[in-house]
């Protein structure tokens, strides 16, 4: 399967711990997006990369959140000092042509206790 893959699929952590999610996009896609989705809501934009450059960050992305795409391939999203409000599904998507069509991974579900 050469789709977008995310790891881990599920993460349960205690408040105050750090967590890191990984996203491997479709190999020829140069754009990579992170979204957050809470129950019953649509995905909310967090940030996106074109190759290794992070071009936009949402106000939702507080200073506890950091995303990287060091070699323009896979990306990581780290959340430091997690809070219960961080509990959500974190979705990664990739695209080859702007926001024309986004291909999503299955998401990483975070539960902060």
Partner 1 sequence: TQLLEQSPQFLSIQEGENLTVYCNSSSVFSSLQWYRQEPGEGPVLLVTVVTGGEVKKLKRLTFQFGDARKDSSLHITAAQPGDTGLYLCAGIQGAQKLVFGQGTRLTINP
- Which of 8, 16, 17, 101 binds partner 1 (CB under 8 A)? It is 101
- Which of 60, 98, 111, 113 binds partner 1 (CB under 8 A)? It is 98
Counting Cα atoms < 13 Å in the Cβ hemisphere of 92 gives: 28
Cα distance between residue 81 and residue 111, in whole Å: 13
Q: Smallest distance, Å, CB 101 to partner 1?
A: 5
Measuring CA to CA, which residue among 58, 64, 108 is closest to residue 87?
Answer: 108
Per-residue contact flags (x/-) with partner 1 for residues 35 to 74, judged by CB under 8 A: x----xxxxxx--x-x----xx------------------
């Amino acid at each position: 399967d050469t789709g977008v893959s995310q790891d881990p699929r599920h993460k349960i952590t205690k408040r105050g711990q750090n967590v890191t999610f990984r996203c491997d996009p479709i190999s020829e896609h140069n754009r990579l997006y992170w979204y957050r989705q809470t129950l019953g809501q649509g995905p909310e934009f967090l940030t996106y990369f074109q190759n290794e450059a992070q071009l936009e960050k949402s106000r939702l992305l507080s200073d506890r959140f950091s995303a990287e795409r060091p070699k323009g391939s896979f990306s990581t999203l780290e959340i430091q000092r997690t809070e219960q409000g961080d509990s959500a599904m974190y979705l990664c998507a990739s695209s080859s042509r702007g926001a024309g069509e986004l291909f999503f991974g299955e998401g990483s579900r975070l539960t902060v206790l």
